[in-house]
Amino acid sequence: MYEVVIKHGRTIKGEPLEIALQGDKIVRVASEIPEAATTIVDASGLYLSAGWIDDHVHCYEKMTLYYDSPDEIGVKKGVTTVIDAGTTGAENIGDFYPLAQAAQTNVYALLNISKWGIVAQDELADLSKVQEALVREALATYPEFIVGIKARMSKTVVGQNGIKPLELAKTIQGENRHLPLMVHIGSAPPTLAEVLARLETGDIMTHCFNGKTNGILDQETDQIKSFVWDAYRRGIIFDIGHGTDSFNFHVAEQALKEGLKATSISTDIYHRNRETGPVYDLATTMEKLYVVGYAWDEIIDRVTRVPAESFHLQGKGSLVEGYDADVTLFRLVAESKTLTDSNGETRVTDTVIQPVKTIIGGTIYDN
């Protein structure tokens, strides 16, 4: 007898799917599981996927600039795992860690290369705050919690330092197990060309569809810049990172028209853009990619398997026997909804996605 069996579900492609859970693991995945279970979850009319992963959030509650509760943006929104994208650095990640461990949602962190993280908007304007020895110490102390490093490369963050902070980040990355590196792009300097020239296969560029002049779209020709294609083809991960000011419908639509698709879908969510928009939650960001033209199976893949692989989250991102018992149960509803991007432009979707139950480590939560 199993502890939990999720019955009568289906994949995003409509195929029948049932899942058995034992403790905090998936123990069977099949079109039908006839065996008895202590708890039966009736998923009639619902889709099942691996637990949704949001790989760019800000959820260290003690911060004053960008912060939120992990569970407000996680389990309550159908998201089983969040990755805090550099809110903290080596000097304060020790305060963040116990709060993250106390959450129902799985929480991981990218370590900001600046030792105090984002305590102010210009955390990389003073390069004395970038200390490789402190980064190495933090990685040794929290090897399971820290899954990568973060550098924000825009003029309000780096001040007069140009591309230098990214060069330091790449050095730190190379000397510390070549951890995944996420790089925030924004206004120049440094230029996007300078940033992408220094990134390697597997590095993550977040805010990929921002509407800024220094973004991927040439605003004179309305075409994707040629050097952006070079980066895309050599395996740079293009992450959405919607945020308050970093997702533009037209840029996303033009990129798709030319054949450039985001690699992963994330929110850059914190309390303000969750409460008053334009982000609200991961589901809303997923709806925006649907209205741009992505298929639902592509969208689900970009919030499950892809981020799990990008950040080496073993046991997550797929419905596979032996993997963690993290599952999102959701429905697609034919409903008209107006969606707003970071620049105030709107689109109307005819389908919304609604998480119904979130299962994390075998524990079932209603949405």
Please tell me whether 184 is known to bind a ligand: yes
Please tell me whether 268 is known to bind a ligand: yes
Please tell me whether 77 is known to bind a ligand: no
Please tell me whether 271 is known to bind a ligand: no
- Report the relative pairing of strands 346-360 and 363-366 from DSSP bridges: antiparallel
Contact 185, 147 (CB under 8 A): no
Q: Within its chain, how far is the Cα of 294 from the centroid?
A: 17
Angle at 237 (CA atoms; ends 58, 176), nearest 5 degrees: 70
Please tell me whether 56 is known to bind a ligand: yes
Contact 204, 180 (CB under 8 A): yes
Side by side, the strands of the sheet bearing 146-153 are: 52-57, 79-85, 106-112, 146-153, 181-185, 204-206, 237-239
- Which sign does the torsion angle of CA 216, 221, 222, 226 carry? negative
CA distances from 367 to 132, 223, 364 (A): 42, 41, 10
Q: Which helix (H) or strand (E) holds 229?
A: helix 226-233
Residue 187: is it exposed, middle or buried by C-beta count within 10 angstroms (0-12/13-18/19+)? middle
Please tell me whether 242 is known to bind a ligand: no
Binding site members for Zn(2+): 56, 58, 150, 184, 207, 268
Binding site members: 56, 58, 150, 184, 207, 268
